[in-house]
Amino acid sequence: VINVADARTVFVLKRSMASGFAGIENPLFYKDNARMLFGDAKESIGGLVREFS
β-pairing, 10-14 vs 34-38, is parallel
pLDDT for the residue 3:
87
* pLDDT in the model for residue 34: 93
Residue 48 amino acid letter: L
H or E segment at 46? helix 41-52
Which pLDDT does position 4 carry in this prediction? 85
Partners of 35 in beta bridges: 11
With a threshold of 0.75, does the pTM exceed it? no
Q: Residue 26: its pLDDT value, please?
A: 86
State whether residue 52 is helix, strand or coil: helix
Residue 42, pLDDT score: 95
pLDDT tens column, 7-24: 999 999 999 888 878 888
42: left (phi over 0), alpha (psi -120 to 50) or beta: alpha
Q: How much is the mean pLDDT over the chain? A: 90
